[in-house]
Amino acid sequence: MEKSPKLFLSILFLLLIVSCRVKEEDPLAILEYGKNYQGSSRSLNALKKVTELDSTNSEAYRELSIPYLKRGIPHLWKTHMDKSIELDAQEWQGYRGYNYLWFYRDYKKAIADFDASDILTPNFIDAPQGHSVDYWRGIAYLGLKDYKNSIRYFDKYIEKETKDTGEDWVEVTAFLYEGIAHYENKNDSLALLSFDKLLKYTNNNYADGNYYKALILEKQGNTAEALNFVNLAITNYKEGYYNYRAYVEALRQIYIEDLLLLKKRLTKKQ
Amino acid sequence: MIKALKIIGILISLLIIVYVLLVLNMNNQLKPKHFPKEGVYEHSAHYIDPENSLLNEGFVVCDENFILQYYNPERATYSKGKNGLREFILTSFKNNNFTDSGYLNIRFIINCKGEAGRYLIHENDLDLKPKKFNPEIVEQLFKLTTQLKKWNPNFTHDEYRDSYMYISYRIENGEITEIIP
């Protein structure tokens, strides 16, 4: 009886050692560690170790693909990304579509992946990177200048989001891109409705919306009003309220020189 | 009474041991000492070997041990912006009846002074598999890319920094259809 506390403590100590040893080889712990310092040899080796410990870990392959995506090394991105889809298509195919859309501007391949996700997730609409595949498809079809399908998917996305959570929860760039699709499709009245929605939900502080409104007003011959809108757009732009993305240029991204050029043209017309 | 004190003593000791074990275990998770530091990857994903790169001679980076990515905080950009870059490339590139398609990617470093050097070329088809382009396309686009001389260097931690940059030309039937990023 006297010895039992000592025995108990020895067993506890042994358990600790075993637990530490298990942790050393825990793929999930190494995966978390490998996500840090993305692209470094330390990170790559940790992620590689995860794939050796658990060859079915799709996330490790996805993580391995990202540095090559962001650094312009396509074939190495593809090898790892495709492997993650081979292991778990439901989880990653929509995400690959998002990569094709923005980092490779391969709109057809992006749409193929988004379409595949409809079959892979029949009970819900997949949302890679936080947005519905319908929203992403709207952008991809705009990239292809297939305005009919672009508008169709934006309508679908906006309708569902409005029904589920309310119009004020719709991603504002859906209004922007739907407006651009209408504008390029030469339907200015519908374009204006979209741009007005965009400006409504951004308190009139969105350079792209004010810029396109200025372009439409210019076409209508309303130069003075167009000038007001382009001036607003310039202010918005300087304050950082415009459409851009972190790693790559946004589709139809506008720049300050675009706004200044329009202002110059409108000023001349006055 | 003595027995009760003994039991309390054992319980307190146990609590201390459990606490120490938890701390040790947490440290084990947070500290990288047990995680692989070495392996098949000798270099980072973005590493460009100076010995095997183009136009590295005379090109100096400010800190070999701290080269950022172009998108890190105050991103590195072309001095004439994306519009200026696009206009220069698209108006200068001549499609001499090329039929190639794919991605011609040129990676390089922009140093802390805004100079570019240490170039590396990757050639892939539209399915992103390695391929060889018509050498004339490669030569033309490499030459044009190296003519993009003035860059705005990355700025972080109160200093201008070196950063890795890339330009990807998506080419379809000899025409440049996209310039990324």
First and final C-alpha spacing in chain A: 102
For the cut 90, the answer to whether the pLDDT of residue A16 exceeds it is: no
With a cut of 70, say whether residue A11 has pLDDT above it.
no
Is A260's Cβ below 8 Å from some Cβ in B?
no
- Bridge partners, residue B77, by sequence: B152
**Residue-wise pLDDT tens digits, A154-183:** 999 999 999 999 999 999 999 999 999 999
- Strand intervals (E) in A99-168: none
pLDDT of residue B10: 78
For residues A115-120, average pLDDT: 96
Instruction: Give the C-alpha separation, B126 to B143, whole Å.
Output: 22
Name the residue among A24, A72, A257 with its Cβ closest to that of B105: A72
Query: How many whole angstroms separate alpha carbon A219 and alpha carbon A156?
Result: 29
Task: State the residue for tokens 């079959």.
Answer: A119
CB contact under 8 A, B40 and A45: yes
pLDDT of A270 > 90? The answer is no
State how far the Cα of A219 lies from the Cα of A226, in Å rounded to an integer.
Answer: 9
Residues A223-229, mean pLDDT to the nearest whole number: 98
Chain B residues with CB inside 8 Å of A24's CB?
Answer: 28, 34
Q: Which of A30, A73, A255 sits opposite B122 (nearest CB)?
A: A73
Position A210 pLDDT exceeds 70: yes
Tens digit of pLDDT for each residue in A19-56?
555 456 789 999 999 999 999 999 999 999 999 999 99
Q: Does B5 touch chain A (CB under 8 A)?
A: no
Q: How many CB pairs under 8 A join A and B?
A: 129
Residue B4: the pLDDT is 79
What does the pLDDT read at residue A17? 55
Inter-residue contact A75 to A45 (CB < 8 Å):
no
Question: DSSP labels for B129-171?
Answer: -B----HHHHHHHHHHHHT---EE-EEETTEEEEEEEEEEEEE
Nearest CA-CA partner of A101 in A61, A144, A38: A144
Per-residue confidence (pLDDT) for residue A24, from 0 to 100: 60
Q: What is the mean pLDDT of residues A252-261?
A: 98
How far apart, in whole angstroms, are the C-alpha atoms of residue A33 and residue B28? 12
- What's the predicted TM-score (pTM) here? 0.88
Q: Do B45 and A67 touch (CB under 8 A)?
A: yes
| Among candidates A48, A103, A248 on the partner chain, residue whose Cβ is nearest the Cβ of B41 | A48
User: Does B105 sit within 8 Å of A78, measured CB to CB?
Assistant: no
The verdict on A240 touching B (C-beta cutoff 8 Å) is no
Q: What is the pLDDT of residue B18?
A: 73
Q: What percent of chain A has pLDDT over 90?
A: 90
pLDDT computed for residue A257 by the predictor: 97
Backbone phi, then psi, for B169, in 5-degree steps? -100, 115
Given this model, what pLDDT does residue B33 score? 57
Interface list for A 26-65 with B (CB within 8 A): 29-30, 33-34, 39-42, 44-46, 48-49
Predicted pLDDT of residue A198: 98
Q: At what angle do helices A188-200 and A172-184 cross, to 10 degrees?
A: 160
**For position B27, what pLDDT does the model report?**
53
CB A81 within 8 A of CB A92: yes
Could you tell me if A16 lies within 8 Å of chain B, comparing CB atoms? Answer: yes
Q: With bands split at pLDDT 50, 70 and 90, how would you rate the model's confidence at A194?
A: very high
Nearest-CB residue to B168 (from A34, A72, A258): A72
| pLDDT tens for chain B, residues 1 to 181 | 777 788 887 788 778 877 776 765 555 555 555 677 778 999 999 999 999 999 999 999 999 999 999 999 788 999 999 999 999 999 999 999 999 999 999 999 999 999 999 999 999 999 999 999 999 999 999 999 999 999 999 999 999 999 999 999 999 999 999 999 9
Using a CB-CB cut-off of 8 Å, the residues of chain A touching B39 are 41, 44-45, 48-49
